[in-house]
Structure 1
Amino acid sequence: MEIFKSTKIYNFMGSRLPFLGLSSILFIASIVLLVTKGLNFGIDFAGGTIVQVKYEQKAPISDIREVLKKKPAYSNAIISKFGSDEEVVIRLSGSSSDLSTDISDKITKVLAPTGKFEIRRVDIVGPKVGGELREKGIMALTLSILVILVYVSFRFEWRFAIASILALIHDITIAMGAISLFSVEVNLDILAALLTLLGYSLNDTIIVFDRIREGIQTSKETLIEKIVNESVTKTLSRTTLTSLTTFFVVVTLFAFGGEIIHGFAFTLVVGIIVGTYSSIFIAASFLVQLKFSITSFRAKEAEKVKRQKEKERMRAMYEKGTV
């Protein structure tokens, strides 16, 4: 199925500077947000206690706040709705022995004056464990990017690798900027979403780069901009259809999946939009900006073919006993 006619070549590289400018603004704004506002780390990374409570009637949030403020151990509690008017989540920073010992029974006694309810979930993470999870999460992202750099360098030319890594950093940073802007709680689900975006964005970028490499090898064109325009145009329908299909699924998850996966779905929604935009307008633009040389690339490819043929010739001579 073709959304865009493959016979028409779109001049993506002719508009690369405005798109790079837009990406620079978004990237810098995301960095500023991450530095000034930071991320809203959940208990997975910051440590603390989460108690999910379901009332038989509409949850009296103001009453819950009042009774918790009277208890020093719970005075720092943050109360918010969870999906419906009847359910709330109580977040307590830290997880001292006072909070972690029979927390369910203690909360039940404290909240008894607020109405009939049941405690549906209690999650406790110590600050040390949260810190370790945060460090390992950062390490996972860093190692993923390094492995991708090695993989793309092995499969393509080094400028392709640098361009793909710059595009991935661009995508992840803007997604994290959106997470910071909307104060999405960062937990293990968000980390999983960011790692998913790395793979998703890389897949789109590799498909575009593979078509560019194919165009360089088969075309007589010497201008990298024209080959990039042809290659991106050929993959445009595929990229659009894949992204739209994934986007609709993730939006459905965000709308109907419930409060638990809102952060995960939100991160994927932002990431898919940014990743699709990046694979069409940004990744190949980085390649052009890095002064990729078609002549040099073709010479290297010709040398590889020559060496391969020489190996095959020597092997054939060896098998015939002439060497």
Structure 2
Amino acid sequence: MQIFKKTPNIDFLKFKWFALALTIVLVLAGILNITLGHGLKMGVDFGEGTLIRVMFKDPVSVSAIRQLLSDVGLGNSVIQESGKSGREFQIRTVEVRTTSQAGEEIESHQILANKVIAALQNKEDQQRLAQGLVDLNNIDSRSLTALLMTISPDSAEQIAERLMSYRKTQSIISDWNELKKEPVSLSDDVLNQLQAKTFLGQMTVLSKETVGPQAGKELRKKATQAIIWSLVAMLVYIAFRFKGLEFGAAAIFTLAQDVLICLSIYSFTNREINLPIIAAFLTIVGYSVNDTIVIFDRIRELRKTMRKEPLEKIMNMSLNINLTRTIITSGTVFIAVLALFLFGGKVINDFAFIMLVGTIEGVYSTVFMSCPVVLWWNQLFGKQKKVKK
């Protein structure tokens, strides 16, 4: 498939100084924003604290949830609505307690999570809990099985399994009549006894994650190492494959630029850095280097047939020859990632966003920065070699 009827003749390297200036501006802007501005918003994977996902029976506003948390001293919690129903929310909060010993901090994340959950429960649910009733929307599988053993010993495990599976599917049980139908199919006798010992709370906890400061620090360290070692491995491979350190150095420069520019842009969006985002960065690195290697391979081939031509002309020719491939492959990836960004939902939205930025930035770095770095390397170290006949 060809986009152009004949090979274009665009002087890409004419824009190398502009591209370098743009790269410097974007990276510096990101560094300033990260160090002096808003900084990076660390998710619970890399920060510390408690992340709780909850769902309510009825729609609730973010301001109402914040007021409930403010009443117990947790007004600074990050509250994010999930979906459009106004019933599901993510709440991230941190509470650090210090002892009398200077510098020592005790993380009470489990206590904090229980504090958040208690604050979100309405007074009616709290009164029922005080009376000894159990919240069927928040009971765990083991406790539910133990409770059902007092009602129907022979089928307690099967009923508990059906109930937990149904609650996982529906997220929250809103009405007792739901439990009479498939797939739960409780008998009237079991249902009546269950109603006498439990109640359907107005809020359920979908998930609960806690990360302490040491675990968050360790995850940040490993994520950084993963990116650095992937770049080093590529440097060694490309330098060996193309028998020239300049190609490896150029690839690593452009890949480091990809990560830094994407990170810079991401820092301005107030989105969280979490494990899926690190996966996105590694994906961008792998995707971007693929196109760069194709360009370098074309340069190597043309240097054998265009021995008397300057390296800059050979580079421009290589970029133009591969321009159709670059547009088609990058365009295909961009359309796929754009669909994820628009229709994939909030769970994958951050990942899709950074992939969108990385797809565009990867083309920019390959076309406008990879070849100039090789050219500058040869000019700086005087290692531009002619291919021997």
Checking the alignment, whether the CA contact within 8 Å between 1:94 and 1:127 is kept in structure 2 is no
Q: Distance in 1 between matches of 2:95 and 2:218?
A: 15
Greater mean deviation of Cα atoms: 152-161 or 109-118: 109-118
Partner of 1:153: 239
Answering whether residue 100 of structure 2 is matched by residue 100 of structure 1, we say no
Q: What corresponds to 2:295 in structure 1?
A: 208
The separation in 1 between residues aligned to 2:35 and 2:111, in whole angstroms, is: 36
Deviations 1:157-205 (A, max 9, x none): 1111111111111111000001111121001011111111110111111
1:296 aligns with 2:385: yes
Distance 2:109 2:10 in 1: 61
Q: Which amino acid aligns with 2:44?
A: I
Instruction: For 1:233, give the aligned amino acid.
Output: N
Instruction: Quote the RMSD (CA, aligned, Å).
Output: 2.2
Give the conservation status (yes or no) of the 8 Å contact 2:42–2:272: yes
Q: Aligned residue pairs: how many?
A: 298
Q: What is aligned with 1:16?
A: 16
- The 1:237/1:98 distance shift into structure 2, 3 A limit, reads same
Structure 2 residue aligned with 1:28: 28
Match of 1:190 among 269, 277, 290: 277
Q: Confirm or deny: 8 A CA contact 1:13 1:229 kept in the other structure.
A: yes
Counterpart position of 2:41: 40
Distance 1:97 1:131 in 2: 14
Query: Does the alignment pair 1:110 with 2:199?
Result: no
Q: Once the 2 structures are TM-superposed, how far is the Cα of residue 291 of structure 1 from its aligned partner?
A: 2.7
Cα drift, residue 131 of structure 1? 0.7
For 1:190 and 1:134, locate their aligned partners in 2 and report how far apart those are by CA, in whole Å. Answer: 12
CA contact (8 A) 1:41 1:187 kept: yes
How far apart are the structure 1 equivalents of 2:67 and 2:42? 25
TM-score normalised by length of structure 2 = 0.72
Question: How does 1:115-194 map onto structure 2 within 5 Å?
Answer: 116-156=202-242, 157-194=244-281
SS of the residue corresponding to residue 79 of structure 2 reads strand
Q: Kindly indicate whether the alpha-carbon contact (under 8 Å) linking 1:190 and 1:264 is maintained by their aligned counterparts in 2.
A: yes
CA spacing shift, 1:6–1:158, aligned 2, 3 Å: farther
The alignment-based identity, stated in percent, is: 36
Partner of 1:55: 56
Structure 1 regions of 5+ residues with no counterpart? Answer: 303-323
- Provide the residue aligned with 1:7 in structure 2: 7
Q: Is the 8 A contact 1:6 1:233 kept in 2?
A: no
- SS at 2:322 equivalent: helix
Question: d(CA) in 2 for partners of 1:249 and 1:52?
Answer: 29
Q: Distance in 1 between matches of 2:34 and 2:384?
A: 42
Q: Compare the two structures and name the one with the higher helix fraction.
A: 1
Displacement after TM superposition at 1:28 (Å): 2.1
State how far apart, in whole Å, the 2-side matches of 1:83 and 1:249 are. 22
Secondary structure, in 3 states, of the residue corresponding to 1:291? Answer: helix
Question: Per the alignment, do residues 294 and 142 of structure 1 end up closer, same or farther by CA in structure 2, a change over 3 Å counting?
Answer: closer
- Once the two structures are TM-superposed, the CA of residue 112 in structure 1 deviates from its matched residue by 2.0
Deviates more, 1:186-195 or 1:79-88: 79-88
In the alignment, is the contact (CA less than 8 A) between 2:67 and 2:75 conserved in 1? Answer: no
Q: Which residue of 2 aligns with 1:253?
A: 340
Aligned partners of 1:40, 1:108: CA distance in 2, in Å? 24
C-alpha deviation, 1:127, in angstroms: 1.6
Deviation by residue 1:105-151 (Cα, 9 ceiling, x = unmatched): x5443212399332212111222111100011111111111111111
Q: Please state if 1:263 is matched with 2:350.
A: yes
2: distance between equivalents of 1:194 and 1:97? 30
Structure 2: tracts of 5 or more residues without a match: 97-105, 124-200
Q: Give the distance between the partners of 2:365 and 2:387, measured in 1 at CA.
A: 26
- The whole-number CA distance in structure 1 between the counterparts of 2:239 and 2:259 is 20
Q: Check whether the contact 2:54–2:207 (CA below 8 A) recurs between aligned residues.
A: yes
- Alignment counterpart, residue 286 of structure 2, candidates 199, 224, 233: 199
Cα deviation code 1:269-310 (max 9, x no counterpart): 1111100111111111211222367862514xx6xxxxxxxx
SS in 1 for 2:378: coil
Q: Deviations over 1:176-235 (max 9, x none)?
A: 001111121001011111111110111111111111111111223421111111111111
Take 2:9 and 2:78, find their aligned partners in 1: how far apart are those partners? Answer: 55
